[in-house]
Structure 1
């Protein structure tokens, strides 16, 4: 950690937050850390805010694999925020005394109509954009699995399993498992349409393909983590777990399951 010295701060323009960031910059300069103005020049990228801010920091800086991401919570510690804005001395002490470790979070690649590619750290969601159900044929690798009709589907990573997926009664998945989880959003199950009706896990070696039925509801809302993508006439969405890993700060005695316990129990 000590060889990483160039830091880029990602945060919303807010006078009170800017004041705190300036204070942190001054403190870090005393420990030979350099604050850079461009994320491409950084080997540490720090977000201020909450988990949403962290996700935006990763997305806006291009899902870099050659740097370390760290989250600083403004109101509370979250899943991606190991530090709190009022405990900067503790963060610096941890960095200098090598009390932190590096965890690697998997990402998923989303390919739309074999042309557009996006990466996600938490999940990709495909939802109806109008007051009409969305129909999709679901393929696992080359196997036709089911035809879904309802409000949409969520495909999440293990770390994303505690987010949107959990609100749909999906399972909380240990990040050490290389897999994705598929959860339904208000599916229709009757004599015409039949789905599995429960979340399911797919090995990271499998590919999930969703073929959107062209019935007038063929430009769904596609959410990449906490950002929506506007694309019309979507025919096919392919989702795969990738080898691209996002490296983040991990404090000792603050594992994924420590965070689950702290946030939900």
Structure 2
């Protein structure tokens, strides 16, 4: 069923003065073109415009529980890899949006089912989910892929990234940049220990979209594990099992039709 167009657009901005000012200007421009900008977030909207940096973009998706509404970003931050627009492009964007000169890109989040002795919780990551030891101690993780034992990892931790997250923390760890058109997960070690006592993979492992990554922590000093999703930390005690897989959620990014991922990579990293 085709969604009825409401001409409602949500504007979400971080607290930086420049973001607030761009939000005010954008709201005025959109209203002058007949769009409705609600005071509170509307789940009936056709679009979310996020003003800020990549952190604001990710927090918006988490805060509103990954709504089935396309999102586009205006960059007032630093890198702005997710953000499609610069502040000077507001008029151009409105013109092209009304013409339908855009495409919709689906994201493929990673989800983790974290089970302790007493309960299980689900965590979603747009970029990545990271499993680390607490208090900067070495962590020992038994890692299996589907029904095959992979390794007993020793080091600072492991990161499981999505294609969208391949250019984030994963990239700084030496992981591969992945074209977002590919559906896969990447397991990247964080400071792995490779000695006569410990053996760990020292490079990323690429696994298919339907893989299930199983992690069983071993505890030496204390029974806590730090799980970080898109930069947000969660400390858990007595974790017995972590199951990671590609989520069924499909958050949507609105891209202008001339968007090119590899041009973006060259612009931001080279």
Task: Give your verdict on TM over 0.5.
Answer: yes
What is the count of residue pairs matched by the alignment? Answer: 264
**Structure 2 residue matching 1:29: 3-state secondary structure:** helix
Match 1:46 to one of 49, 60, 71: 49
What residue is the counterpart of 1:145 in the other structure?
150
**CA gap 1:192/1:103 in 2 versus in 1, 3 angstroms:** same
2:24 is equivalent to residue 22 of structure 1: yes
How many angstroms apart in 2 are the aligned matches of 1:80 and 1:222? 23
The question of whether the paired residues in 2 share the 8 Å contact of 1:112 and 1:234 is answered with yes
State the TM-score, normalizing by the size of structure 1. 0.93
What residue is the counterpart of 1:196 in the other structure?
201
**1:192 Cα shift?**
2.2
**1:85 Cα shift?**
1.8
What residue is the counterpart of 1:108 in the other structure?
110
**CA gap 1:10/1:232 in 2 versus in 1, 3 angstroms:** farther
How many angstroms apart in 1 are the aligned matches of 2:77 and 2:259? 18
**Structure 1 residue matching 2:93: 3-state secondary structure:** helix
What residue is the counterpart of 1:247 in the other structure?
252
For structure 1, which segment, 133-142 or 221-230, has the greater mean C-alpha deviation from structure 2 after superposition? 221-230
Match 2:62 to one of 42, 59, 62: 59
Match 2:175 to one of 158, 170, 180: 170
How many angstroms apart in 2 are the aligned matches of 1:95 and 1:2? 16
Match 1:231 to one of 233, 236, 239: 236
State the TM-score, normalizing by the size of structure 2. 0.92
What residue is the counterpart of 2:36 in the other structure?
34
**1:157 Cα shift?**
0.3
**1:19 Cα shift?**
2.7
**1:228 Cα shift?**
1.1
How many angstroms apart in 2 are the aligned matches of 1:77 and 1:43? 26
Structure 1 residues 114-133: aligned runs within 5 Å: 115-133=120-138
* Cα-to-partner distance string for 1:169-211 (whole Å, 9 max, x where unaligned): 1110111111000111111111222122211101011100111
The question of whether the paired residues in 1 share the 8 Å contact of 2:141 and 2:217 is answered with yes
**Structure 1 residue matching 2:239: 3-state secondary structure:** coil
**Structure 2 residue matching 1:40: 3-state secondary structure:** coil
**Structure 2 residue matching 1:87: 3-state secondary structure:** helix
The question of whether the paired residues in 2 share the 8 Å contact of 1:181 and 1:202 is answered with yes
How many angstroms apart in 2 are the aligned matches of 1:262 and 1:19? 26
**Structure 2 residue matching 1:63: 3-state secondary structure:** coil
The question of whether the paired residues in 2 share the 8 Å contact of 1:78 and 1:259 is answered with no
**CA gap 1:84/1:76 in 2 versus in 1, 3 angstroms:** farther
- Which structure 1 residue ranges, 5 or more long, are not aligned? none
* Cα-to-partner distance string for 1:210-249 (whole Å, 9 max, x where unaligned): 1111223432221111211122222221110123211111
How many angstroms apart in 1 are the aligned matches of 2:100 and 2:125? 29
